[in-house]
Amino acid sequence: MRFVHDTLPQRVHFASGEAAESLTAEIASLGARRVMVIAGAGEREIAERVTSGLPVVHRHDDVVMHVPVEVAERARTAAAAHDADVLVSIGGGSTTGLAKAVALTTGLPIVAVPTTYAGSEATPVWGLTEGSAKTTGTDRKVLPRAIVYDASLTLSLPAALSAASGLNAVAHCVDSLWAPRADPINRALAAEGVRALRTGLPMVVKEPDALPGREQALYGAYLSALAFASAGSGLHHKICHVLGGMFNLPHAATHAVVLPYVLAFNGTAAPEAEERLAEAFGTPSAREGLARLRDQLDAPRALRDLGMPSGGIASAAEAVVAAAPADNPSPVTLPAITDLLRTAWEGAEPR
Ligand code: NAD
């Protein structure tokens, strides 16, 4: 066995119902005195509840998916105007993403309180959009210093959004198994992530108001993000990045639709990944495990239902082939990717 693995420095608090206490402890340990809270309008009430004991100098609710550059600029200006010395982000990946955009240029530390299963809080990856072009990059400055996981804050996330967001997390795990920097550590994290998510997500959809499923799902989402941060983007993430940028599709639902097609495409050429996933799903094959989970979650099935135009398949396929990792288990050819995208667009059986 021979590998090089980076472990990222970050404290993780995990305790349902204790976000306020964990945040107070974290802000004190950072020695911060001027908190800028970033939370979208939908998460305002949650944010006010968990930050009422903090020295807040500004509450910023101007959050937009995929972090348009002008939205990032406004948040940076607000951080400077209020002389903030720490950012507390409370929300999904879009909110964490905005805090990262501020940290990127100001160096301010972030304490992230996630309320979806997107996992951005555990990665040093930032993203900004200008028009229809999304740029991403990696910078240790944007990695939150601490994460506060409180599953009670996810109880309000509707079942359908929870399912899509949870499948986004499953996709982090699956893609990590063949991504460019896959190693034994991130493969182990990914397998445990799949186990936790396939246990927790059906419980969430069945009983959205109960904590045990939410806790399993949030724990699995964290592991999935660690695996993804360490292994990098595999074919699945490259496809979703292209589709999201070209057609402005909803992030989590796009991942949820595309994953079974990439698993079918790569699985037979990656027998070790297939075996590990089957074991984590607790089913005879990985494809069966994912199909069963998707059925239980009533997952979105077709790219056309998300608003992708059929006329976009050819240009998207070309962009995917150009962006795909060179060492993907199955050869990434234009006919193969065109076929994959057409099948995913129709929502037909994965081949
Ligand atoms: P999101 O943050 O846009 O949230 C989706 C919706 O859920 C929003 O309307 C939000 O208000 C609502 N919501 C969030 N928490 C809620 C709660 N507890 N109760 C009720 N409603 C709630 O979506 P997302 O899928 O979490 O994040 C997507 C974004 O994150 C994309 O821009 C994606 O590129 C980015 N992302 C980045 C990374 C990374 O490593 N940098 C990883 C994953 C995702």
Q: What is the CA radius of gyration of the chain?
A: 19
Given 154, 187, 214, which residue is the final one in a domain?
154
Pocket test residue of 115, 230, 241 for ligand 1, highest count of atoms within 8 A of CB: 115
Cα of 240 vs centre of ligand 1, distance in Å, is 15
Are residues 113 and 173 located together in one domain of the fold? no
Q: Note the pLDDT tens digit of each residue in 108-167.
A: 999 999 999 999 999 999 999 988 778 899 999 999 999 999 999 999 999 999 999 999
pLDDT digits (tens, 9 = 90+) for 216-246: 999 999 999 999 999 999 999 999 999 988 8
Domain that holds residue 85: 11-154
DSSP 211-265: HHHHHHHHHHHHHHHHHHHHH---HHHHHHHHHHHHH---HHHHHHHHHHHHHHH
Are 102 and 170 within one domain?
no
Q: Is residue 4 part of a domain?
A: no
Q: How far is the CA of 156 from the centre of ligand 1 (A)?
A: 13
* pTM of the entire predicted model: 0.97
Dist. CA 329–CA 288, nearest whole Å: 20
By CB atoms closer than 10 A (0-12, 13-18, 19+), residue 1 is: exposed
Instruction: Name, in order, each residue with C-beta under 8 angstroms of 194's C-beta and a sequence gap of 6 or more.
Output: 170, 173, 174, 220, 277, 280, 281
83 Cα distance to chain centroid: 30
pLDDT tens digit string along 176-212? 999 999 999 999 999 999 999 999 999 999 999 999 9
Q: How far is the CA of 2 from the centre of ligand 1 (A)?
A: 36
Element (H, E) at 38: strand 35-38
* 273 is a domain residue: yes
Residue 48: pLDDT band with limits 50, 70, 90: very high
Question: 66: CA distance to ligand 1 center in Å?
Answer: 9
CATH number for the domain harbouring residue 58: 3.40.50.1970
283 with 334, same domain: the answer is yes
In this structure, the chain runs to a length of 351
Encoded tokens for 328: 């993907």
CB 170 within 8 A of CB 259: yes
Residue that is last in its domain, among 154, 187, 210 = 154
Q: Mutation test of ligand 1: which of 120, 143, 155, 259 has the most ligand atoms closer than 8 Å to its C-beta?
A: 120
341 shares a domain with 213: yes
Residue 22 near ligand 1, beta carbon < 6 Å: no
pLDDT at 245: 84
Same-domain check for residues 197 and 300: yes
Rounded distance between C-alpha atoms, residue 51 and residue 279, angstroms: 41
How far is it, in rounded angstroms, from Cα 26 to Cα 148? 9
Q: How many domains does the chain have?
A: 2
Domain assignment present for residue 327? The answer is yes
CB of 40 closer than 6 A to ligand 1? yes
Q: How far is the C-alpha of 260 from the C-alpha of 7, rounded, in Å?
A: 29
Enumerate the β-bridge partners of residue 60: 38
Residue ID of nearest Cα to ligand 1 atom 4: 92
Distance CA 59, CA 63 (A): 11
Determine if ligand 1 sits within 6 Å of the CB of residue 119: yes
240 Cβ closer than 6 Å to some ligand 1 atom: no
Please report, for the domain that includes residue 341, its CATH number: 1.20.1090.10
Structural element, H or E, at residue 46: helix 44-51
